[in-house]
Structure 1
Amino acid sequence: MIGQLIDGRYQIVRNLDAGGFAKTFIAEDSRRPGRPQCVVKRLEPSQTDAHTLEVSRRLFQREAEVLERLGHHPQIPRLLANFEENQEFYLVEELIIGHPLTQEIVTGQPISEGQVIGILIEILDILVFVHGQGVIHRDIKPSNIIRQHSDGRLFLIDFGAVKEVTTQIGGVYAGGSPTVVGTQGYMPLEQFHGHPRFNSDLYALGVIAIQALTGLPANDISTLRDPYNPDRTAIVWHHRVPQVNPRLANIIDRLVVFDCTQRYQSATDVLNDLRNSIYQPLVEPTIFTPQIQLLESPQKNKLGLILAGIGGSMALLAVMGLGGNYYLQQKSLTQAKKSYYQGLEKVLQQDYKGAILNLDEALKINPKYGQAYYQRCLANYYQNNELKAIEDCTQAINYLPKKYNSVGIYLKVDEKTKALITNGVQNDSPAVKESIKEGDKILEIDGKSTDNLSLGEAEDLLRGGEVGSSVKLKIASVDGSTRELTLKRENLTNDEFDLAYDFRGLSRYYTQDYQGAIADFDEAIRLAPIYFKYYYNRGLARSKQGDKSGAIKDFDKSIEINANYEPAYSERGLIHQLLGQSEPAVKDFDRAIELEPNNAITYYNRGNSYISLGNKEAGIEDYTKAIELDPKYTNAYLFRCTERSNLSQHQAALADCNQVIELDPNFPEGYVGRGLVYQNQGDNQKAIADYTQAIKLDPQNERAYYNRGIVRRLLADTQGAIADYTKAIEIDPNDPFPYHGRGLIYSDSGNRQQAIEDLQKASQLYLQAGRRSGYNNALAAIAKLEKQPATTGN
């Protein structure tokens, strides 16, 4: 086949794949300049009678039409041609130069949550289009996802529809049965039985996410399934990644539910949850990054981190990327500058993939273009490609100048009016002295109307002179007045330089290089010691590294500089809470709520602190407020359920835990909470049923085993209780409670020596944990046993 010319045009140069009734090749298109390569797929009917060929031809044409429609998406290979030759059917598709995700998702090498989220979002965006065309892919797996080398975009290839046609053409008419399309390990149950749905593709994507986070090979993912109830439950994997963001984990869980009616129903639903849920973690700190597209007022952009407009010069340099004066001395724009400004405008529009293409071009022409590296760093960062962002920010630091000549005005194009407006001004600049404000419209620069000026041309006019040279402006202020000003250019600090350190620090943070992140934040602070958010970011990195006192000091400094920065209070409160310092935690949450009264998470966290202080009523009130703000806040319902049960408000508690289960029937803690309510009511059988369900959903749920052991002891099920306590100890050998419980049941059964050993172990662990009451109770039980004569239990 190598060297053969097909359709008088496509010359085969290499075999790619062969199997069943189809073969795939790399070919050169001999009719196009440069003979570009493409992918050729040959489908071979097993029989060549007239009827089979006619049916095959009809099926082939139908699927070619499907691929033609799909190819209109920029991340799906285009169908270039389809034809029949010598009673064989051919598809010619665009060749994507890149590598499959099998080179990124490698056994034994888990990747970061940020990378996984990036993959999920990019593939989900493609699936929204694919499913909108009425097509199910049916074979989503890492080898069918290609990362294009030129720009890092992901492409979805090898649609199962073609495989189905291949099977029908080659198999059905040979007297066989249709073969199920898909790959074992990535197929949900309904697809395995030949009834794929749109959310069958979502299941496969969830498996890929688990594979990437755990580092397990695909064939081992199935071993994480619950052996007790394979028809209903999902894959059990949280224990493999104990630090996983709980909201990301919940989203992935809903992707891999076995029952397709309980799984996410659309890719759009998953995207909405990713954007609206995971980016508000329950207890994980939220890290600040400068907002790329500054709006009229700061806002929160939920990307797993809080994005807010930065007041003054810092934010605007992050957006406009000013500096590099020695690149901008020419009067006319060079091609590198044109590409740079095209990329910059796309960054402002949040078209990060398009921006990277333009910035790549700029850097090919000028490989020392510091501004282009900086903007590409931002684009890669916001695509969750932290490693590339680190590389680009490092190059930006190498090539960005520390000073540049300007009047301190930053520009953008208003999205609605397309007018050139100020995006803010730099601190201590000529623009500040003349009271130029964000949102002022620039009508003229040195007598030239801005109506026909591009963003780059306008920037050049502002920065195109020496220190002390003048620039004349005509401005329409936001208050409606028009005025003319003459400003003199000054040699200003390039704040973009410290922002490059900040973004590199953020990227290192998300690759869990906390020491490297701290070093970068240190440098950013050295360059801009009055910038409160750099201290905030360093505080988060220090907290992750375990330096809680250092983190608190950084949050203190951030608040000292900006007493109205709500995230610093929230994060400091969380650390106080983790350290058991509930009173200062409540004070911090109070201030955070004063500054941002509609954040459900802050009420939830303050509620937890109130509970730690013994103020259950206040805690329940805060959980209630959190639920009012977010009616789907499962943890708020769960904790309110627990505390209401502790106050003997069993019916209200039961309603809360039922709501948790209704919102997320695969959340094991919902069953644990409801089981505790039943236990407190004395309904032991229902309690055991709920604890058992929790264990089926999560076989590593230590609390469920422990609680079930308590109930079994009450029901005189000695062996069952001992088995549950033993399993709880196996899961968490540092928890004193299961030792204490097992020691008591050994005591009940007359096994004095084993009881004393367990109670001694419990007392040691109570003491280490500072639980004085439990310690004293364990010692009292030991003393009572030591007074008894030694006997041997069953």
Structure 2
Amino acid sequence: MSQCLNPVCLQRNPPKTILCQSCGSQIVLKERYRAIRILGEGGFGRTFLAVDEQRLDTHCVIKQFLPQQSGSAALKKATELFEQEAFRLNDLGKHPHIPDLLAFFPQEGRLYLIQEFIEGQNLLNELRQKGKISEFEVKKILIELLHILQFVHNNKVIHRDIKPENIIKHSQTGALFLIDFGVSKEVGNNVLTKLGTVTGTPGYAPPEQFRGIVYPNSDLYSLAVTCIRLLTGYFQKPDGTDLLFDLTIMQWIWKKYIFVNHDLEIILDKMLQDLPSNRFQSATEILSVLQPQQLSPITISPNHSRQVTTTIVSPKQPIVFRDNLGNNLFLEMVGIPGGTFSMGSPEGEGYKNEKPQHNVTISPFYIGKYPITQAQWQKIASLPKINIDLNPKPSYFQGANLPVEKISWLDAQEFCARLGEHTGKMYRLPSESEWEYACRAKTTTPFYFGETINTDVVNHNNKYKQTTDVGGFPPNNFDLYNMHGNVWEWCEDAWHKDYTNAPNDGSVWTGNDNKRILRGGSWLQESGNCRCAYRHYIVAGGSNYGSGLRVACSSA
């Protein structure tokens, strides 16, 4: 369908309509942007889902300025704020977790802003659907948003409206995106900025913001409020009352309703200080405190019951690039720094085929942040055949954000070839040594969490009876998810019975054997089979309910 943009009409028209059949208004903006349906509306106007007809009907977002304010001063301010979003996005430049600005222009007497479309829902809607968000997930949200704000503040911009509604979670990858820079402000050399009007959202904005003053750590205050609301599920009511804030003493009392790790409690309390001088001064400062974080002791299998402390180090901001596969479906790739590591298992650990342990030097490369999802597989499988046919829906367990499984090594080769043809990059499977290096992420223990694992941090041992959505468990130090469990991941190498004469430069170890390497374990495997060093194989044309893949490439 084609959506009329005339505010007094909004007629739905047949596809490819040029002029609205009801009011005669232009349907297509700038002869390329066609609205499909209304996504939402607010005080400044409406937002439409649209397609860019000059980019193979790629989805995008049309923001139409349609202020409800009356009076010349209010209308002028509203216009400034709408225009400001375009200016700030342009000033910021590209960031993988801020939707790109595509265009900004007037047409038929109205202003329009065109942005990249992020398929997903905001955190407020997710909270309403699923209930309170766990401490672990909120910590992940905090870290991801701090990295985004680090970029925003380094570019001399203050967002001024951090809240769950302005954070979108991508439906396929789970990645977070910060949106709505309409009230953001560029700051000068003195950091302090005086505003003509109060902006932001009550219940999130810090005290100084209501006096027309903001600092970078004003955003950090709002981010902390966002975290405690996601943890508790409590929000400020329309009458101004708030279970999390005691107006009689003017203090946050969120800890009355939720218990969290003491370290996280200290961080959130400092972010919530009334006086800006008492808060963390930057996102970078908070991230330095968040690394490392300790989890509680955990116990693994009844046969090998012991308690260990698992350390999760919050990853430093990695080098990431995203390839748009079409229809706003993205493939995220993480840059892995080069280095030397000990591949295989030491004496007293593992199996004979994991020995001898030997040093391997790896050159920098890129690898998928997540295993390939079923949505990504289906998209690439729909592209023209290169060598063999691909089943677009091969998986036993169905779900767009579940990892694809039941694919063979030959299927994986065809997928990489089609992906490379589509993107212009040389996608491939990782070598076995690249995979283990990426999995270990500078650690030397059997798992990147430590000596052992449990089902709270890895999908394994048939705990969940199937595969689970990618990104649902903690990442390693390279910010890679699901390297242990969920699905086996194909490597490029042929099977060899041990590491005698194995290459030491990270290259693929070829051979005449038709068997190919799988790594990482799966949802069905016991913990020992999910270790960093554990090796498995099946024939190149074979597959099972746990055989998936994660792609690599040598350059962006």
Which TM-score tier does this pair reach, normalised by the shorter chain?
Answer: 0.5 to 0.7
Residue 57 of structure 2: which of 23, 27, 34 is its match? 34
- 1:452-531 matches, cutoff 5 A: 458-461=507-510, 464-466=511-513, 496=519, 500=521, 523-524=526-527
Aligned residue for 1:341, secondary structure, equals coil
The unaligned stretches of length 5 or more in structure 1 are: 165-176, 299-307, 353-372, 410-429, 443-454, 468-490, 505-518, 532-794
Aligned residue for 1:209, secondary structure, equals helix
CA contact (8 A) 1:247 1:281 kept: no
How many residue pairs match? The answer is 387
Residue 91 of structure 1: which of 110, 113, 118 is its match? 113
Q: 2:92 maps to what in 1? A: 70
Aligned residue for 2:202, secondary structure, equals coil
- 1:335 is the counterpart of 2:417: yes
Aligned residue for 1:393, secondary structure, equals coil
CA contact (8 A) 1:147 1:154 kept: yes
Residue 223 of structure 1: which of 232, 243, 251 is its match? 243
CA contact (8 A) 2:234 2:244 kept: no
For residues 257 and 83 of structure 1, what CA distance do their matches in structure 2 show?
41
Q: 2:146 maps to what in 1? A: 124
Structure 1 position 41, deviation (Å)? 2.9
CA contact (8 A) 1:106 1:212 kept: no
Q: 2:174 maps to what in 1? A: 152
For residues 103 and 122 of structure 1, what CA distance do their matches in structure 2 show?
19
Q: 2:475 maps to what in 1? A: 382
Residue 41 of structure 2: which of 9, 14, 18 is its match? 18
Aligned residue for 1:110, secondary structure, equals coil
Structure 1 position 351, deviation (Å)? 13
Q: Which has the higher helix share?
A: 1
For residues 310 and 459 of structure 1, what CA distance do their matches in structure 2 show?
19
Q: 1:241 maps to what in 2? A: 258
For residues 163 and 274 of structure 1, what CA distance do their matches in structure 2 show?
27
Q: 2:277 maps to what in 1? A: 261
* Structure possessing the higher relative contact order (Cα contacts under 8 Å, 6 or more residues apart): 2
- 1:205-354 matches, cutoff 5 A: 205-217=223-235, 219=237, 222-227=242-247, 229-230=249-250, 233=251, 235-242=252-259, 244-276=260-292, 278-279=293-294, 286-287=309-310, 311=346, 327=409, 335=417, 339=427, 341=429
Aligned residue for 2:268, secondary structure, equals helix
Letter in 2 for 1:267: A
Aligned residue for 2:521, secondary structure, equals helix
- 1:393 is the counterpart of 2:485: yes
Distance 1:34 1:525, change over 3 A: closer
CA contact (8 A) 2:312 2:476 kept: no
CA contact (8 A) 1:26 1:40 kept: no
CA contact (8 A) 2:487 2:521 kept: no
CA contact (8 A) 1:142 1:208 kept: yes
For residues 405 and 186 of structure 1, what CA distance do their matches in structure 2 show?
56
Letter in 1 for 2:91: R
For residues 55 and 411 of structure 2, what CA distance do their matches in structure 1 show?
41
Structure 1 position 86, deviation (Å)? 4.2
Point out the structure with max Rg over C-alpha.
1
Structure 1 position 72, deviation (Å)? 0.8
Distance 1:160 1:189, change over 3 A: farther
For residues 527 and 57 of structure 1, what CA distance do their matches in structure 2 show?
56
For residues 309 and 280 of structure 1, what CA distance do their matches in structure 2 show?
27
CA contact (8 A) 2:88 2:184 kept: no
Letter in 2 for 1:236: I
CA contact (8 A) 2:150 2:284 kept: yes
Structure 1 position 160, deviation (Å)? 3.6
For residues 395 and 208 of structure 1, what CA distance do their matches in structure 2 show?
33
For residues 220 and 296 of structure 2, what CA distance do their matches in structure 1 show?
23
Q: 1:135 maps to what in 2? A: 157
Distance 1:31 1:250, change over 3 A: same
Distance 1:405 1:326, change over 3 A: farther
Q: 1:592 maps to what in 2? A: none
Q: Deviations over 1:303-357 (max 9, x none)?
A: xxxxx99747769899999xx99737999996389745269859956899xxxxx
Q: Deviations over 1:619-661 (max 9, x none)?
A: xxxxxxxxxxxxxxxxxxxxxxxxxxxxxxxxxxxxxxxxxxx
Q: 2:551 maps to what in 1? A: none
CA contact (8 A) 1:70 1:78 kept: no
CA contact (8 A) 1:203 1:255 kept: yes
Structure 1 position 138, deviation (Å)? 1.3
Letter in 1 for 2:521: A
Q: 1:749 maps to what in 2? A: none
Q: 2:495 maps to what in 1? A: 405
For residues 252 and 332 of structure 1, what CA distance do their matches in structure 2 show?
48
Distance 1:152 1:311, change over 3 A: farther
Structure 1 position 246, deviation (Å)? 0.7
Structure 1 position 273, deviation (Å)? 1.0
CA contact (8 A) 1:11 1:29 kept: yes
Letter in 2 for 1:459: V
For residues 513 and 219 of structure 2, what CA distance do their matches in structure 1 show?
59
Structure 1 position 83, deviation (Å)? 1.3
For residues 294 and 528 of structure 2, what CA distance do their matches in structure 1 show?
26
Structure 1 position 40, deviation (Å)? 2.5
CA contact (8 A) 1:185 1:221 kept: no
For residues 249 and 330 of structure 1, what CA distance do their matches in structure 2 show?
45
CA contact (8 A) 1:138 1:160 kept: no
Provide the aligned C-alpha RMSD in A. 5.4
Letter in 2 for 1:209: C
Aligned residue for 2:103, secondary structure, equals strand
For residues 274 and 288 of structure 1, what CA distance do their matches in structure 2 show?
12
For residues 527 and 105 of structure 1, what CA distance do their matches in structure 2 show?
32
Q: Deviations over 1:418-463 (max 9, x none)?
A: xxxxxxxxxxxx45xxxx8xxx845xxxxxxxxxxxx5xx4251xx
Residue 203 of structure 2: which of 185, 208, 228 is its match? 185
Aligned residue for 2:183, secondary structure, equals helix
CA contact (8 A) 1:38 1:92 kept: yes
Distance 1:124 1:350, change over 3 A: farther
The unaligned stretches of length 5 or more in structure 2 are: 1-5, 11-19, 21-26, 187-194, 299-306, 316-335, 368-405, 420-425, 442-465, 535-556
